[in-house]
Structure 1
């Protein structure tokens, strides 16, 4: 697989993951709980990073935003910061990827584009790690409350937003790793081409010296033979 096709594959993976992470941030169902009646579900409680809501059997939802950021639980504040960081890192990573890819016409020399592509891969990896940490922390809080026999408040289950966030995190990390792999492949090819281009130059120089000596002709030993003749019997 060529380096350009590898970079295109990495870009598609990373951008797809970043889109999923960005869509996870405003998604409603981070945690879900329901109250069942005899026949139908009477109410569904769900919550995300910004509000908590309840939906009755007729489909009408009543939501309440979290009143104060400072009064929130610590894990929600951490998840907010990590998800916002993941979106920002993915945004800058996509810009660096467009500049550093070989199929684009911007970015300068190949060496500069390779460095920018490496920076894009690092940004995508960090974005995936931030989102993965946020979703895992939120899921750990839900599961710890659900399986705690001493927790008497309403228990929730994992919502669809967590699975979307995990999928986007994996795609971002894979895209960043493939970006770094394509960079290492490009460096190895450039070194091989440099070593191959250095060999003909050495041969041409040695051939040039041989050709120069050939045009000069055989060495002249007449002077040395005359001097030897004069001093032969001394």
Structure 2
């Protein structure tokens, strides 16, 4: 029961992290910048992996999609690939986890389910690492441009999507690690259940054989003591 509860907690953490990572792809604010007037903000510039937009003080947004994937900067292409890989790995990890967990009725024997659970945990860890790498790469580009005194173009700050992605990738890594470690508990339980008792079995057989011999001699009815009139 404790092992099953651990798997359920790890599964919830991993799926929650995968959902958070997946939600960052359509999120608008990967990086954001604003131009302040004397009283109110006159314009807000924001961008994500797919488009760049500007929102004026009335709330009207004008967006421009990136024209060509091949013409994009290298870090955006890398972030797209890493995030899509993270979502895909997390999806397959969720399927494997549902098959391999002890609370489900599919997957075969405990040994087989343990190996499937280990595979799901490994997929979740890889998913979290891909998402963490992509988001960190994007954030590094923003911070390097912001603190570069020779960068004269529009400077941006970290958007909300980056913090959501960091949190989701951390949950995926933690949950996946717990699922991987659960395989060791399954192996230990199998070793205890199928421990070798050969020496005890041989000893028991010899003891039973000696007891049978003693019982046979006792039932023969031979007198143990004889007095002087025994043959009279």
Scaled by the length of structure 1, the TM-score of the pair is 0.89
- The structural deviation recorded for 1:2 is 1.5
- How many residues end up aligned between the 2 structures? 217
In structure 1, list runs of 5 or more residues that go unmatched.
221-234
Q: In the alignment, which residue of structure 2 is the partner of 1:15?
A: 15
Q: In the alignment, which residue of structure 1 is the partner of 2:108?
A: 108
Equivalent position SS for 2:209: helix
**Deviation digits for residues 92-147 of structure 1, max 9, x if unmatched?**
00000000000000000111100000000000000000000000000000000000
Deviates more, 1:181-190 or 1:106-115: 181-190
RMSD: 1.7
Picking from 198, 207, 212, the partner of 1:215 is 212
1:78 has 2:78 as partner: yes
Partners of 1:214 and 1:155 in 2: how far apart?
92
Call closer, same or farther: CA 1:219–1:8 in 2, change over 3 Å. closer
Q: In the alignment, which residue of structure 2 is the partner of 1:167?
A: 167
Q: In the alignment, which residue of structure 1 is the partner of 2:35?
A: 35
1:89 has 2:92 as partner: no
Scaled by the length of structure 2, the TM-score of the pair is 0.89
Deviates more, 1:206-215 or 1:3-12: 206-215
Partners of 1:148 and 1:156 in 2: how far apart?
12
Partners of 2:95 and 2:116 in 1: how far apart?
10
Q: Which stretches of structure 1, 4 residues or longer, exceed 6 Å deviation after superposition?
A: none
In structure 2, list runs of 5 or more residues that go unmatched.
218-232
- The structural deviation recorded for 1:186 is 1.9
Could you tell me whether the CA contact under 8 Å between 2:111 and 2:186 is conserved in 1?
Answer: no
